[in-house]
Structure 1
Amino acid sequence: MTGSARLTVRCAMELVTAGRAEALEGRGLNTSYRLAVGGRTFSVKVHCAERSSDAEFRRIRCVDAALRGTAWYPPVGDIGFHAAERPRLVVVRPYAPGEPSDDARRHIAQVVEVLADLAARAGSVTAGEDLVGDYASPWLSGAEGERALVAPLLTGEWRPLARAMDDHLDESRAAASRLTRPDGLVVHHGDLHGRNLIGGGSRPLTVIDWDEAGLSRRPADAGKALWLSCRLGRGDFVLDPRALRRFLTLSHARLGVPYASAGDLARLGALWFLPRHGHVTLLGRRDTGLGPWYLDWVARFWARYRRNTDLIAATAAALGA
């Protein structure tokens, strides 16, 4: 590989297995590595076996074809399956140097521009319905089943989280349905937040972590970004009034989101913070401490939810007036 401008999945996994790659910190289901080869640095993402599928492969390829050429997107260098034990999807991209943002409020304008680009780029996409979906999809197609599956995990200290789900699930599903447009296909990143925005000097931001990429028929990225871009700090969910006002103003101007729909956008985004049995279980398999950590994290979101939605409603009403 020395001197080569391209790193293949096979060579990348040989180097990872040999201990020549740097494992990157993360709490997700997949594992990331940094690998220097031939004078270049690469990012190698190894997807967990349970999420390594042909549909995931095709989603990433579809998104890559749509987004190549944008200044903030690291294109796929190689993609394929590695079958040491169970087949795992592996994606090789150029590594984005720089530092992740600890405060996404500083990048609200850039995030909204990325959202606008994602919507515009979808016009060139041709894909089957199996590639269309987002975090809201399971709750719209099978809410009762999802709720029943997660119920055994929400006992003891997690009972308030179960009550929050029961109090807000129906209204969030209704909001997601209202924001769904049969002809409104957009490219979906799935996790736009500060740690996935990499900046370095005068270089434009790079958006990383395309694990959940695909296509959606609703503004799911914008709904999730509202919560993750406007909070006062990481690990907490108290919304910053000034950041919220800026996000709603720019979303109205660049994405065409009516101020009257701000509440629905927030309720759509809230679906991402509903725990799903499969996700919590897979986190626990990776690290026994990750399941309780995740449940505590989303519980803090719901503990502040009503106060935050009141602020969103008041801000949107003032802007609309």
Structure 2
Amino acid sequence: MTAQTSAAVALARDAFAVPAADGVLLGGGATANQVVVLTDGSGRRRWVLRGPRRDTRPGRLAFLHGFHHAARTRGLPVAAPRRTVDGQPWALDAQGQPWLLLEYLPGRPLDAVTTELAGQAAAHLAALHRLPDHLGLTTTVVEPDTAWDAWLTAPEETWRATTAAATGHHALLNAYRLHLDHLQQHATDLRQTTDLVWGHGDFHGHNLLHHIGRITGVIDLDGIGRRPRITDVACAVLMLARTGSGDYRLKRHLLSAVLTSYQRHATAPLTAAETRALWPAMVLSQLPDPAHLAALRRVGCGIGPALARPLAALRDLAAQRNRLTNLLAQGDPQ
């Protein structure tokens, strides 16, 4: 074990009283958070120790702990949270950084998306959106550090914050200007969306687990907040129906699977205005998040990939706008 995983194992044993004996630090993806998968001596029991480094506000951490529990008790396949031996929702390490302990969910990330798994994923997304507005939480609801509509309601302020966080990468950042213009031109329906649900905020294959042909977990709830459901649906369509990693040409049968299953399981069908908002919501999902970039800098991660990767999606979305608009207007993406 590395010094970092050894410290995580010791923290889990001392603070949460779980018999952890080994740990593996998970990597990959552009995230400031740290995740360690712990195992006991037999290798049969597992837990996930999660270090939220992006947003460490105590109120936000307490809300996320409560939301995990509330969603789990209502049947969503999210990890059950554990409390410390002192009854606290998280523990602090020697550096004063918080860690939450979650039960382990079986499965592997959804890299190769099939029609069946895309439909199952959309059904779970609809179930998340069906959660009641008031979950009976004992903690105050604390929204994410960046508002879902920051690029819509305060574009220049958000641009300045992003520019400050992207020091040294202004050439990459400037490539977003064209796509920001596209958003402003086509986001009328998205701006006027007022009905909010519990939205995941980052619903894609690496935040979904599957095993033996079924979705076994929805993970990474750090972005949970009140937002229009079409923002989650847009992210799901873009990330689950794409051709592959780095190739965001949408496959028609997967697009159909996501939308058909979501419509079947949602409280109410998507409205015409929501359908028109789907493309701009996909664009919005790929714009830089200044708080995310700032968090990456704080923990010493490069921000270049976090700026470069979404540009491929935005370029493909721009090329597909007319086709997608026509497909959705027909009401049958098959």
Alignment partners' CA distance in 2, 1:151 and 1:123: 35
**Counterpart amino acid of residue 180 in structure 1:** T
| Contact 2:76/2:128 (8 A) holds in 1 | no
| 1:260-275 superposed matches below 5 A | 261-275=274-288
Q: CA offset at residue 83 of structure 1?
A: 4.6
Question: 1:232, CA displacement in angstroms?
Answer: 0.7
The structure-2 alpha-carbon separation of the partners of 1:129 and 1:305, relative to structure 1 and needing over 3 Å to count, comes to farther
Q: Which residue of 2 aligns with 1:73?
A: 78
Aligned to 1:37: 40
Contact 1:98 1:198 (8 Å CA) reproduced: yes
Following superposition, the deviation at residue 43 of structure 1 comes to: 0.8
Alignment of 1:117-266 (within 5 A): 117-126=127-136, 131-132=142-143, 136-151=148-163, 153=166, 155-165=170-180, 167-171=181-185, 174-181=188-195, 184=196, 186-201=197-212, 204-255=215-266, 256-258=269-271, 261-266=274-279
Q: What SS does structure 2 have at the residue aligned with 1:283?
A: helix
C-alpha contact (below 8 Å) 1:175/1:264 kept by paired residues: yes
Aligned: 1:21 with 2:32? no
Distance 1:157 1:191 in 2: 22
Structure holding more helix per residue: 1
1:280 and 2:290 correspond: no
Tell me the distance in 1 between the aligned counterparts of 2:60 and 2:186: 26
Change (3 A) 1:192 1:157: closer
TM-score of the pair, normalised by structure 2: 0.79
Could you say what secondary structure the match of 1:232 adopts?
Answer: strand
Q: Which residue in 2 is equivalent to 1:96? A: 105
Q: Which amino acid aligns with 1:211?
A: D
SS of alignment partner, residue 190 of structure 1: coil
AA aligned to 1:238 is R
Cα distance, 1:12–1:292 mapped onto 2, change above 3 Å: farther
Counterpart Cα distance in 2 of 1:300 and 1:201: 31
Distance, in Å, in 1 between the alignment partners of 2:272 and 2:76 is: 29
For 2:52, the equivalent position in structure 1 comes to 47
Q: Could you tell me the percent identity over the aligned residues?
A: 20
Counterparts of 1:106-121 in structure 2, within 5 Å, are 106=115, 107-121=117-131
Compute the displacement of 1:200 (Å): 2.0
Q: Report how many residues are paired.
A: 307
Range moving further from structure 2, 297-306 or 197-206: 197-206
**What CA distance in whole angstroms lies between the structure 2 residues aligned with 1:98 and 1:247?**
21
What is the CA–CA distance in structure 1 between the aligned matches of 2:11 and 2:105, rounded to whole Å? 18
Q: Deviations over 1:82-127 (max 9, x none)?
A: 1522442x22111122221113354221122112211222255256
Provide closer, same or farther for how the CA distance between residues 158 and 141 of structure 1 changes in structure 2, counting only shifts above 3 A. closer
Question: CA–CA distance in 2 between the matches of 1:120 and 1:74?
Answer: 18
Distance 1:244 1:147 in 2: 31
Structure 1 residue 252 displacement after superposition = 3.2
- The answer for unaligned runs of 5 or more in structure 2 is 1-8, 84-88
1:13 Cα deviation after fit? 6.8
Partner of 1:61: 65
Residues 101, 197 of structure 1: 8 Å contact kept: yes
Distance in 1 (CA, whole Å) between partners of 2:15 and 2:262 is: 41
- Structure 1, unaligned runs of 5 or more: 1-6
Shift of 1:12: 6.5
Q: Which moved more, 1:111-120 or 1:155-164?
A: 155-164
8 Å Cα contact 1:259-1:319 kept in structure 2? no
**What's the CA shift for 1:45?**
0.6
Distance 2:14 2:203 in 1: 27
Residues 276-315 of structure 1: pairs in structure 2 closer than 5 A: 276-288=289-301, 290-315=302-327
Q: Which moved more, 1:299-308 or 1:100-109?
A: 100-109
Does the 8 Å contact 2:60/2:141 carry over to 1?
no
Code of the aligned partner of 1:118: L
CA distance in 1, matches of 2:71, 2:319: 37
Given that residues 62 and 214 in structure 1 are in contact (C-alpha distance below 8 angstroms), is that contact kept between their aligned partners in structure 2? no
